[in-house]
Structure 1
């Protein structure tokens, strides 16, 4: 959840749906003092790989969120953890999406583990199936889960 909040904050601050990379970095590093400029650039890389940001424009310098950032609330005392600068597994990403929708983390983990045991799926596939059952769109993670299924059982489907 904190990655989504950190990504949304510069767009909310500027009241726009698109920012140049430099504006995004300045917002996170100088305006909010959350990250160094290098860390803010790392955040862009992580958020792009995780499907929260897209690069647009002729030079690819414009950043556009892939989610509705206007629905994100940035708490006044919010400071992102440094761990959001590291890559997260598909399971962790789905878990974050479930928590962002108001589900308790321990309940989600328990339900996903139960589904994994019940259906004989990988943890990633079980997380995607569970999120879908809960009405949470994690379609960008489905290919990762499907690929994990292929490693264990090529006849199973998510």
Structure 2
């Protein structure tokens, strides 16, 4: 996942799971020239909403071990890392991670949405629950990220 790699890169470079916010912004914007300083600040918000970072005052902490990430030398993240994922996207990712076919999942979710006259997000959560997949955090992450 390029978001995870981009967020981890400054921590990997520093060899730690905690960094000052300013070091994170400087690393991504000035040192690596991946994003502007404003975009690096936006990335902090996105990463926090995705559960990849915790933010305490001016300190950032990864929620996973920085040593578990390898940043390829030619890695450059695409602009999609600056966009928060919707509840639907989070649930779909969870379904795919469990080995459910994407086309099958989307078709079933669309069917539930139509049959039950509910939102796409509600249909996705319902489908995941019916498959035995716990996605209870997906809607919470989307709400907290706003």
Calculate the TM-score normalised by the size of structure 2. Answer: 0.70
Q: Residue 124 of structure 1 contacts residue 144 of structure 1 at CA under 8 Å; is this kept in 2? A: no
Q: Which residue of 2 aligns with 1:11?
A: 11
- Once the two structures are superposed, residues 65-92 of structure 1 have per-residue CA deviations (whole angstroms, 9 ceiling, x without a partner) of 2234432332222111112212221222
Change (3 A) 1:22 1:96: farther
Alignment partner for residue 110 of structure 1, among 98, 103, 107?
A: 103
Instruction: Return the offset for 1:40.
Output: 0.6
Indicate the RMSD between aligned Cα atoms, in angstroms.
Answer: 3.3
Instruction: Return the offset for 1:64.
Output: 0.9
- Count of aligned residue pairs for this structure pair: 137
Q: Residue 20 of structure 2 contacts residue 58 of structure 2 at CA under 8 Å; is this kept in 1? A: yes
Q: Distance in 1 between matches of 2:70 and 2:108?
A: 31
Q: Which residue of 2 aligns with 1:156?
A: none
Say yes or no: does 1:124 pair with 2:121: yes
Change (3 A) 1:66 1:111: farther
Q: Residue 42 of structure 2 contacts residue 82 of structure 2 at CA under 8 Å; is this kept in 1? A: yes
Change (3 A) 1:78 1:144: closer
Residue correspondence of structure 1 range 9-88 to structure 2 within 5 A? 9-56=9-56, 60-88=57-85
For structure 2, which runs of at least 5 residues remain unmatched after alignment? none
Change (3 A) 1:55 1:33: same
Point out the more displaced range, 8-17 or 81-90.
81-90
For structure 1, which runs of at least 5 residues remain unmatched after alignment? 146-158
Secondary structure, aligned partner of 2:76: coil
Change (3 A) 1:13 1:68: same
